[in-house]
């Protein structure tokens, strides 16, 4: 045969013997060259087969078999090459099909190619390792402190253009994650295997918190010009940590767990429903937590020796000493994310309104330290009928101050507050120190600044 005609999207052209046929890459990638109407290519990767290591056929395809479908010379087109009649030109730039030239294992080859493409295309974040994090947890019962010793991370996911990251670790206590209970390590620059060896401490953590709360440990990448990027996290139930015993953790970072939500709701309603669901699980704690307060109570019985002077003489007559030590994880009341807290104490009922005491204001903090003491001269029998009310406020210049939270201690209180009050009355002359949870309202109290 001296010449043949190739069907293209342009006018037919004649290829003479001895001349090489030229096909542009645009035509090669856009059409399937074969007799009949022009069809789009089903899968371009079929022209560039990549054999999977897990191939289902025993012998790899020979170079002739791989090259046969893309032969362009007139001689190969005229040989028939396993095709019948004038269908030899149908193998030009055609994908491997069942029954085509060299077709002993072409079907299995196609299935193997498809399999290898699916395997190699798994390049999403869900299939990429986020890295591991190593840290220790220690709960000290005597000081009500939870220490998290952040040691190191390994094999973190690259987040920057240079293939590295600038990682730091962030801690939150759940439920109730907020700025007040967020702790953060320093940032280690340009590494995927950072070492921190840094201790982060939560104060005012009660044994009830250790049973009820969860520690969320997050690893993030710091970006100076844009928002910081999330790498991965892990959540640890604090009830796994025994008091006064260090527990070591070496965990794989994970993506944040998806929130359960009804499928019929819109995105906004799903978010609201998830919030309500979490709120319902916290119904056992009917009052909102607003922070922690460390109080020290000490009752002084009347002294038998009358030869005392000064402050000791005042306390010799007997009374209650209230020590306001510090607060932790207070609610933020100002637009800058902080508060200007101070503490007020009352011994109620206060008919003459002389029992009010107030600490100094500590500016711009959610974890203030006061270390102030107030003395109430009162007999032991009268104390049994009184209620100590301690409130925390945010100072605002030029307008009314904001109430942060408070706690009431007396014979009519409940839980930890009642136990603290009873221990104070039983252990006369001894200091009894305990952390209390601030609530946003006090039963039977009229809050006034």
297 shares its domain with 428:
yes
- Give the domain extent around 219: 131-253
Residue 70 lies in a domain: no
CB atoms within 10 A of CB 121: 8
User: Of 153, 233, 149, 155, whose CA–CA distance to 197 is shortest?
Assistant: 149
Q: Are residues 301 and 410 in the same domain?
A: yes
C-alpha to C-alpha distance for 44 and 169, rounded to whole angstroms: 45
- Residue-level pLDDT at 122: 37
* Among 3-7, 24-28, 255-259, 413-417, the range of highest mean pLDDT: 413-417
Kindly state whether residues 430 and 320 are assigned to the same domain.
Answer: yes
Q: Is the pLDDT reported for residue 447 higher than 80? A: no
Examine the domain organization and report whether 407 and 295 are in the same domain.
Answer: yes
Q: Is 42 helix (H, G, I), strand (E, B) or coil?
A: coil
Same domain, residue pair 339 and 415: yes
Please check whether residue 42 lies inside any domain of the structure.
Answer: no
Mean pLDDT of 278-292: 57
| Helix boundaries (H) for 68-169 | 74-78, 106-120
Q: Which residues contact 230 (CB under 8 A, 6 or more apart)?
A: 218, 220, 221, 256
Whether residues 237 and 319 fall in one domain: no
Q: DSSP string spanning 170-215?
A: EEEEESS--GGG-EE-PPPPS-SS-EEEEEEEEES--HHHHHH-EE
Same domain, 353 and 431: yes
Q: Same domain for 232 and 318?
A: no
Residues 146/201, Cβ–Cβ less than 8 Å: yes
* Pair (242, 324) in one structural domain: no
Whether residues 349 and 231 share a domain: the answer is no
pLDDT tens string 224-271: 888 899 999 999 999 999 999 999 999 999 888 765 544 444 555 555
Reading the block at residue 184, the tokens are: 């953060």
Q: Rg for the chain (alpha carbons), in Å?
A: 38
CA–CA distance, 331 with 339 (Å, rounded to integer) = 8
Residue 321: enclosing H or E segment and its boundaries?
Answer: strand 319-328
What is residue 151's predicted lDDT score, i.e. its pLDDT? 95
What is the percentage of the chain residues whose pLDDT exceeds 70?
A: 59
Question: Is 25 contained in some domain?
Answer: no
Report if residue 48 sits inside a domain: no
**Structural domain count, the chain:** 2
Whether 247 is in a domain gets the answer yes
Q: What is the mean pLDDT of the chain?
A: 73
pLDDT above 60: residue 285: no
Q: What is the DSSP string of 203-268?
A: ES--HHHHHH-EEEEEEEE--SSS--EEEEEEEEEGGGSPBT--EEEEEE-BPPPPPP--TTS-HH
Q: What is the CATH number of the domain that holds 415?
A: 2.60.40.150
| Same domain for 320 and 233 | no
Classify residue 27: in a domain, yes or no: no
**Is the residue at 92 inside a domain?**
no
Asked if residue 386 belongs to a domain, the reply is yes
- Mark whether 237 and 361 lie in a shared domain: no
């Amino acid at each position: 045969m001296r010449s043949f005609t190739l069907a293209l999207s342009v006018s037919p052209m004649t290829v003479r013997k001895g001349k090489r046929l030229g096909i542009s890459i645009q035509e090669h990638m856009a059409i399937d060259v074969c007799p009949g109407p022009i069809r789009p290519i089903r899968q371009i990767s079929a022209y560039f087969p990549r054999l999977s290591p897990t191939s289902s056929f025993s012998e790899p395809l020979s170079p002739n078999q791989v090259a046969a479908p893309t032969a362009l010379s007139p001689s190969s087109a005229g040989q028939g090459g396993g095709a019948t009649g004038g269908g030899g030109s149908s193998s030009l730039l055609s994908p491997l099909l069942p029954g085509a030239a060299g077709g002993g294992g072409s079907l299995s080859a196609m299935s193997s190619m498809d399999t290898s493409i699916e395997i190699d295309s798994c390049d999403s974040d869900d299939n990429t390792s986020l890295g591991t994090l190593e840290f220790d947890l220690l709960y000290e019962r005597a000081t009500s402190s939870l220490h998290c010793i952040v040691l190191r991370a390994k094999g973190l996911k690259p987040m920057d253009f240079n293939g590295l990251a600038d990682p730091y670790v962030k801690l939150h206590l759940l439920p109730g994650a907020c700025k007040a209970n967020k702790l953060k390590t320093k940032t280690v620059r340009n590494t995927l295997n950072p070492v921190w060896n840094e201790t982060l401490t939560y104060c005012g953590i009660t044994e009830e918190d250790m049973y009820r709360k969860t520690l969320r440990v997050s690893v993030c990448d710091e970006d100076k010009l844009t928002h910081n990027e999330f790498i991965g996290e892990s959540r640890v139930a604090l009830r796994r940590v025994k008091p006064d015993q260090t527990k070591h953790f070496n965990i794989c970072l994970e993506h944040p767990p998806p929130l359960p939500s009804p499928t019929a709701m819109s995105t906004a309603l799903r978010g609201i429903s998830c919030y309500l669901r979490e709120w319902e699980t916290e119904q056992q704690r009917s009052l909102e937590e607003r922070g922690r307060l460390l109080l020290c109570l000490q009752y002084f019985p009347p002294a038998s020796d009358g030869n005392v002077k000064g402050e000791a003489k005042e306390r010799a007559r007997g009374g209650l000493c209230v020590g306001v030590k510090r607060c932790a994880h207070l609610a933020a009341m100002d637009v800058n994310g902080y508060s200007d807290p101070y503490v007020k104490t009352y011994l109620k009922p206060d008919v003459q309104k002389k029992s009010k005491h107030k600490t100094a204001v500590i500016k711009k903090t959610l974890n203030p330290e006061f270390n102030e003491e107030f003395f109430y001269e009162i007999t032991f029998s009268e104390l049994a009928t009184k209620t100590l009310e301690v409130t925390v406020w945010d100072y605002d210049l030029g307008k009314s101050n904001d109430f942060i939270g408070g706690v009431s201690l007396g014979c009519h209180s409940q839980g930890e507050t009642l136990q603290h009050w009873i221990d104070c009355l039983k252990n006369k002359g001894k200091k009894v120190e305990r952390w209390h949870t601030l609530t946003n309202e006090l039963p039977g109290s009229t809050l006034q600044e």
